[in-house]
């Protein structure tokens, strides 16, 4: 049985994945931005499975102070980790660019820089795999405003659009996963990326009005949509399947390796983003 640190455990796919993993006997450390949401998730999981080994940790991925505090305390405790699962993510709806308390563009900060921070700092505690949640939306030609990552403007200070911010962040997290894959080539650690598929029922929680109606009552019933249960099943597979660990550096969906974009496999861009990310996060290279 593994010790699994999973972000985004307070709600959404992270919440249900934490439950499945705990029910299967793994020890789960779930993080939530809101301490009460984390405790509620733990109570609910224990109510259904009294012997579940699960506890909540508070972590705001959009705050360097919060990332530092959690990683400092895990390092001080010498908490061993078999799996680090970066589930939490944000998809803004508003056209207004938002920045974190540290002045970083929020989508890139939460979806790509925070996983980089956690993995880099927790590396000494990690014996197994890191799983990064990306999205097929990083692919060129995916619906909406196209992906376009400009290293001269990584935080979209010019021409911000929430869809571009999301797609760029999911491209960037693939660069982070491949950078760790190269760094860990001679170790037992492995890095992997996954897309849960389009899950309208959890997307609905971040939308309002007609958008929410569309997600819940129309798109959720389309053949291309995935149910939360299917997506969680694929996340549990990513966290636990031995075959995944034997194939580091791949992008997965529905328990199968998928082709990620050629740009996501560009080693020079991956290294450039990784180095920029470390500098931006104030971490040693
Ligand atoms: N659903 C889909 O169709 C779909 C498709 C492709 C990829 N994905 C990816 O799959 C992952 C899970 O998606 P989901 O559908 O479960 O999303 P969700 O229901 O919106 O849940 C997002 C989770 O991320 C957490 N989060 C957001 N900002 C945070 C922050 N600053 N600090 C800490 N936690 C934060 C949320 O916690 P709070 O409650 O505190 O906000 C929540 O637990 C995400 O990475 C998403 O981008 C989803």
Q: What's the CA gap between 26 and 101, in Å, rounded?
A: 34
State residue 285's pLDDT score.
Answer: 80
19 touches 235 (CB < 8 A) = no
What value does the mean pLDDT of the chain take? 97
State residue 96's pLDDT score.
Answer: 97
Instruction: Pick from 85, 88, 104 the residue to mutate for probing ligand 1's pocket: most ligand atoms within 8 Å of its CB.
Output: 88
Determine the average pLDDT of the residues in 54-63: 98
State residue 180's pLDDT score.
Answer: 98
- Which atom of ligand 1 approaches the CA of 34 most closely? 40
Is pLDDT at 205 greater than 90 in this prediction?
no
Q: Ligand 1 mean position to 241 CA, how many Å?
A: 23
Pair of tokens at residue 10: 């307070």
State residue 208's pLDDT score.
Answer: 86
Is pLDDT at 116 greater than 90 in this prediction?
yes
Comparison of pLDDT for 93 and 168, the residue scoring more: 168
Q: What's the CA gap between 145 and 233, in Å, rounded?
A: 30
Determine the average pLDDT of the residues in 62-90: 98
Per-domain boundaries in the chain: 3-199+229-280
The answer to whether the predicted template modeling score (pTM) of the entire model surpasses 0.95 is yes
| CA quadruple 282, 154, 126, 12: dihedral sign | positive
Q: Ligand 1 mean position to 205 CA, how many Å?
A: 10
Percentage of the residues of the chain whose pLDDT score is greater than 70: 100
Banded model confidence at residue 202, pLDDT cuts 50, 70, 90 = very high
- Which atom of ligand 1 approaches the CA of 136 most closely? 6
Which of 185, 155, 186 is closest to 169 using CA atoms? 155
The three-state (H, E, C) secondary structure of the chain, written as one string? CCEEEECCCCCHHHHHHHHHHHHCCCEEEEEECCHHHHHHHHHHHHHHCCCCEEEEEECCCCCHHHHHHHHHHHHHHCCCEEEEEECCCCCCCCCCCCECCCCCEHHHHHHHHHHHHHHHHHHHHEEEEEEEECCHHHCCCCCCCCCCCCCCCCCCCCCCCHHHHHHHHHHHHHHHHHHHHHHCCCCCCEEEEEECCCCHHHHHHHCCHHHHHHHHHHHHHCCCCCCHHHHHHHHHHHHHCHHHHCCCCCEEECCEEECCCCHHHCHHHHHHHHHHHHHHHCCCC
Pair of tokens at residue 144: 């909406």
- Which atom of ligand 1 approaches the CA of 13 most closely? 16
Comparison of pLDDT for 211 and 158, the residue scoring more: 158
Beta strands 190-195 and 53-58: pairing type? unpaired
State residue 32's pLDDT score.
Answer: 98
Q: What's the CA gap between 134 and 194, in Å, rounded?
A: 6
Beta strands 251-253 and 256-258: pairing type? antiparallel
Domain at 3-199+229-280, CATH class = alpha beta
Is pLDDT at 26 greater than 90 in this prediction?
yes
Banded model confidence at residue 207, pLDDT cuts 50, 70, 90 = confident
**∠ at Cα 47 (83, 43), nearest 5°?**
65
Banded model confidence at residue 105, pLDDT cuts 50, 70, 90 = very high
State residue 130's pLDDT score.
Answer: 98
36 touches 30 (CB < 8 A) = no
Is pLDDT at 206 greater than 90 in this prediction?
no
Query: 173 to each of 71, 72, 167, 274, how far by Cα in Å?
Result: 19, 23, 10, 10
State residue 12's pLDDT score.
Answer: 96
Q: Ligand 1 mean position to 23 CA, how many Å?
A: 22
């Amino acid at each position: 049985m593994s010790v699994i640190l999973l972000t985004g455990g307070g709600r959404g796919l992270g919440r249900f994945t934490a439950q499945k993993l705990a029910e299967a006997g793994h020890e789960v450390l779930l993080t939530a931005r809101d301490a009460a949401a984390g405790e509620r998730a733990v109570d609910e999981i224990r109510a259904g499975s009294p012997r579940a080994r699960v506890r909540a940790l508070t972590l705001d991925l959009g705050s360097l102070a919060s990332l530092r505090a959690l990683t400092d305390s895990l390092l001080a405790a010498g908490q061993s980790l078999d799996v680090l699962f970066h589930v939490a993510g944000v998809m803004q709806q508003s056209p207004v660019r938002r920045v974190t308390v540290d002045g970083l563009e929020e989508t890139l900060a939460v979806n790509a820089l925070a996983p980089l921070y956690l993995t880099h700092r927790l590396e000494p505690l990690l014996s197994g795999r890191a799983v990064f949640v990306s999205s097929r939306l990083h692919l060129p030609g995916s619906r909406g405003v196209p992906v376009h990552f400009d290293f001269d403007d990584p935080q979209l200070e010019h021409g911000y659009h929430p869809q571009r911010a999301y797609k760029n962040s999911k491209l960037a997290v693939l660069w982070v996963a491949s950078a760790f894959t190269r760094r860990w080539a001679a170790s037992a650690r492995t890095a992997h990326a996954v897309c849960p598929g389009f899950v309208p029922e959890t997307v609905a929680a971040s939308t309002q009005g007609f958008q929410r109606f569309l997600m819940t009552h129309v798109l959720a019933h389309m053949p291309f949509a995935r149910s939360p249960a299917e997506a969680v099943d694929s996340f549990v597979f990513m966290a636990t399947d031995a075959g995944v660990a034997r194939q580091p550096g791949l992008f997965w969906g529905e328990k199968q390796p998928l082709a990620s974009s050629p740009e996501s496999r560009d080693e020079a861009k991956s290294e450039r983003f990784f180095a920029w990310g470390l500098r931006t996060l104030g971490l040693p290279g």
